[in-house]
């Protein structure tokens, strides 16, 4: 669900037209402020999302490098199925390397830190180093001293993992002093106070030593065991994921990536919602306090408006940051260089808010809540640009009207002409109205300006009528399709029917001249999983 930044409809319907226009302008101003405020959040969290997309695909288009095999590569799941559950456990270590690196780097990006985690194989260009799996690098790509770590996701539980860490086979890691990255759930047990905790085992063995009942040889063995546990404890570090999550990354890599992206988008939305509440609430507070002082609004009503505006601004900011983050991450790792360059701008957040405006205005028109002219007015400058794209086919045929072509081409030409005339008349009127407000004019000059204003108003009325007629005629055969699609989308939302929602949305796209990229969740998954470029 996308938040709509609207005032109370019943209140607006009973207000004079100039008051409605003022509120519309205020809403647009606040919405722009919220959109701009979301830019930095979308940039940070979008770059973090990109890390998970790289982890899934194995390719970093922005860095023009391959970060290792995707998770999984084409034969990974087949091998896992052939080997049974044991195959999944063996492959979980590799998945943990990729997933842990992505999660840690995402957090570094969000926190504004320049250091990054890298798989050692990718840094050195060689496969399967016997000691080191992951290292940290600085902003220049240089490996940070003491950052070498080994990923160990072995054993069915923490006890089995600790047994492996104490074995002779793992002595090479203890001797080299590398960090041991282990499952988060295993770490909590080993570092806890329970019976399987390392400290508990050390204290138990220490009591045996202190009792004085052991032979010299036994005491030496126990002390060696205690020293080994101290060394292991110092080397342990959380990997950032549990054993089950690593296995899930093997069996369901696409789902794992989707969950990671959704979590980051949600974090971005929650962070931005707080900022949006401050901006929307602060703006509304000042506006309504002024209204109270002027006597145009009662304190109780003012308090209600401030609360509603604050909640709506927070919801709008959440939606903008959530969607913008996912879009920005996909753009940043796109194979197309132009799309990657756009990811550095605020286009992701703008795309979200513009889409909200366009879809809301079209829905209002189709349901009879808005006239054609009101529909265009609500879209604003960006909305008109989007409308031009949506109606691109019709507008493209407008040039043929000069040759006497009738039908759809002539209707499109009439729509374009009335739109241009309406826009021009508005521009003339606004300029003349400004002159009346801001300058002391001589009586004769004032009379002239007032006459021109009256003429401009008449032009506006005529063009508004022409424009309404043109749009009504053009969309008359599509209103039924739109209404049916919106009803189907509403029903799909209530029924949690993803395929129903996507199918209804596709019918609207077809009615407006677009070719839908997908109609069902499965078609979307197939498209995302294919090797084709994703074009926004």
Same domain, 315 and 169: no
221 and 168 share a domain? Answer: yes
- The residue assigned the tokens 């927070």 is 314
496: phi > 0 → left, psi -120 to 50 → alpha, else beta; which?
A: left
Highest mean pLDDT among 212-221, 314-323, 406-415: 212-221
For residue 267, give every residue at least 6 positions away whose Cβ sits within 8 Å of its Cβ, in sequence order, or none: 45, 110
Calculate Rg over the CA atoms of the chain: 32
Q: 188 pLDDT exceeds 50?
A: yes
Residue 60 pLDDT class (50, 70, 90 cuts) = confident
User: How high is the pLDDT of residue 278?
Assistant: 80
pLDDT digits (tens, 9 = 90+) for 483-495: 888 788 778 777 7
Domain end marker among 421, 449, 473? 473
Q: How many domains does the chain have?
A: 2
Give the least confident one: 122-136, 164-178, 247-261, 339-353.
Answer: 339-353
> Which of 3-7, 83-87, 380-384 has the largest mean confidence?
83-87
> What residues have CB less than 8 Å from 138, skipping those under 6 apart?
114, 115, 144
Q: Do residues 92 and 71 lie in contact, with contact meaning Cβ atoms separated by under 8 Å?
A: no
Measured CA to CA, the distance from residue 256 to residue 56 in angstroms comes to 9
Q: Which residue has the higher pLDDT, 13 or 165?
A: 165
pLDDT of residue 202: 94
Say whether pLDDT at 32 is over 90.
Answer: no
In a domain, 68, yes or no: no
* Strands (DSSP E) found in 127-282: 134-137, 149-151, 179-182, 236-238
Q: E strands, 277-334, where?
A: none
Residues β-bridged to residue 119: 134
If you average pLDDT over every residue of the chain, what do you get? 74
Per the CB < 8 A criterion, the answer to whether 504 and 489 are in contact is yes
Alpha carbon 278 to chain centroid, angstroms:
21
Instruction: Reduce the DSSP state of residue 60 to 3 states and report it.
Output: strand
3-state helix, strand, coil in the chain (%, to 5): 75, 5, 20
53-82 average pLDDT score:
61
* 486, part of any domain: no
Q: Among residues 269, 268, 354, which one has the least CA distance to residue 31?
A: 354
Single residue among 473, 492, 510 that ends a domain in this structure: 473
Residue 336 resides in a domain: yes
Is residue 189 in a domain? yes
Residues 337 and 449 in one domain: yes
Residue 220: give the domain boundaries.
Answer: 154-238
Question: Based on the domain organization, do 218 and 262 belong to the same domain?
Answer: no
CA distances from 456 to 270, 317, 372, 426, 461 (A): 47, 38, 20, 8, 9
Residues 444 and 317 in one domain: yes
Residues 292 and 419 in one domain: yes
Q: Is residue 502, in this structure, part of any structural domain at all?
A: no
Identify the pLDDT of residue 531: 65
Position 65 pLDDT exceeds 80: no
Looking at per-residue confidence, does 4 or 327 come out higher?
327
Can you tell me the distance from the alpha carbon of 449 to that of 451, in angstroms, rounded to the nearest whole number? 5
- Whether residue 533 is contained in a domain is answered as no
**Structural domain contains residue 455:** yes
pTM tops 0.85, yes or no: no
- State whether 366 and 231 are in the same domain: no
Q: 134-137 and 116-119 as β-strands: parallel, antiparallel, unpaired?
A: antiparallel
- Identify the three-state secondary structure at position 196: coil
- Give the lowest-confidence range in 237-251, 292-306, 446-460: 446-460
Phi-psi region of 532 (alpha: psi -120 to 50; beta: other; left: phi over 0): beta
Pair 268, 230 in one domain:
no
Cis peptide before 72 (omega within 30 of 0): yes
Are 232 and 268 contained in the same domain? no
Distance CA 441, CA 477 (A): 51
Taking the C-alpha atoms of residue 35 and residue 429, their distance in angstroms, rounded to an integer, is 29
Closest CA to 186 of 234, 131, 136, 237: 237
User: Which of 223-237, 247-261, 292-306, 435-449 has maximum average pLDDT?
Assistant: 223-237
Are 427 and 279 members of one domain? yes
Do both 302 and 215 map to the same domain? no
Winning range, highest mean pLDDT, from 80-84, 126-130, 355-359, 483-487: 483-487
Assess if residue 503 is contained within a domain: no
Q: Which of 473, 490, 505 is the last residue of a domain?
A: 473
Using the predicted structure, report yes or no on whether residue 411 has a pLDDT greater than 60. Answer: no
Together in a domain, 203 and 272: no
Q: C-alpha distances in angstroms, 217 versus 168, 201, 210, 224?
A: 19, 20, 15, 11
Tokens of 41: 């959040």
């Amino acid at each position: 669900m996308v938040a709509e930044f609207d005032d109370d409809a019943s209140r607006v319907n009973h207000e004079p037209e100039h008051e409605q226009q003022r509120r519309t302008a205020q809403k647009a101003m606040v919405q722009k402020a919220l959109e701009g405020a979301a830019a930095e959040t979308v940039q940070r969290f979008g770059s973090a999302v990109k890390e998970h997309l790289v982890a899934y695909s194995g390719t970093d288009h922005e860095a023009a490098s391959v970060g290792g095999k995707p998770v999984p590569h084409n034969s990974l799941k087949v091998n896992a199925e052939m080997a049974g559950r044991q195959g999944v456990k063996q492959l979980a270590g590799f998945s943990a390397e990729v997933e842990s690196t992505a999660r840690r780097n995402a957090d570094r990006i969000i926190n504004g830190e320049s250091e990054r985690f890298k798989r050692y194989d990718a840094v050195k260009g060689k496969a399967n180093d016997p000691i080191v799996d992951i290292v940290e690098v600085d902003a220049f790509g240089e490996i940070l001293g003491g950052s070498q770590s080994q990923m160990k996701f072995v054993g069915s539980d923490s006890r089995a993992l600790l047994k492996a860490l104490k074995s002779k086979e793992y002595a090479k890691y203890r001797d080299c002093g590398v960090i041991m990255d282990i499952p988060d759930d295993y770490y909590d047990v080993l570092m806890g106070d329970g019976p399987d905790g390392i400290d508990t085992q050390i204290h138990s063995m220490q009591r045996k030593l202190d009792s004085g009942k052991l032979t010299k040889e036994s005491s030496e063995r126990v002390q060696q065991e205690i020293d080994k546990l101290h060394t292991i404890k110092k080397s342990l570090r959380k990997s950032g994921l549990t054993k089950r999550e690593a296995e899930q990354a093997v069996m369901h890599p696409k789902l794992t990536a989707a969950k990671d992206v959704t979590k980051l988008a949600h974090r971005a939305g929650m962070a931005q919602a707080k900022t949006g509440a401050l901006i929307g609430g602060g703006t509304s507070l000042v506006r309504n306090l002024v209204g109270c002082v002027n006597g145009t609004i009662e304190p109780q009503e003012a308090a209600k408006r401030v609360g509603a505006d604050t909640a709506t601004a927070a919801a709008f900011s959440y939606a903008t940051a959530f969607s913008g983050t996912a879009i920005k991450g996909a753009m940043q790792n796109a194979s197309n260089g132009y799309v990657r360059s756009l990811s550095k701008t605020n286009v992701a957040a703008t795309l979200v808010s513009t889409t909200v405006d366009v879809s809301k205005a079209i829905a209002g028109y189709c349901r009879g809540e808005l006239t054609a002219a009101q529909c265009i007015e609500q879209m604003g400058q960006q909305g008109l640009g989007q409308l031009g794209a949506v109606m691109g086919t019709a507008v493209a045929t407008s040039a043929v009207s000069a040759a006497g072509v009738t039908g759809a081409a002539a209707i499109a030409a009439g729509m374009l002409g009335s739109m241009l005339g309406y826009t021009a008349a508005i521009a003339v009127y606004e300029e003349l109205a400004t002159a009346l407000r801001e300058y002391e004019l001589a009586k004769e000059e004032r009379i002239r300006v007032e006459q021109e204003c009256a003429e401009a108003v008449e032009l506006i009325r005529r063009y508004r009528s022409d424009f309404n007629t043109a749009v009504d005629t053009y969309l008359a055969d599509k209103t039924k399709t739109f209404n049916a699609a919106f009803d189907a989308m509403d029903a799909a939302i209530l029924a949690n029917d993803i395929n129903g929602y996507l199918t209804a949305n596709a019918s609207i796209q077809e009615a407006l001249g677009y070719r839908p990229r997908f109609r069902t969740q499965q078609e979307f998954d197939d498209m995302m999983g294919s090797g084709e470029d994703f074009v926004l």
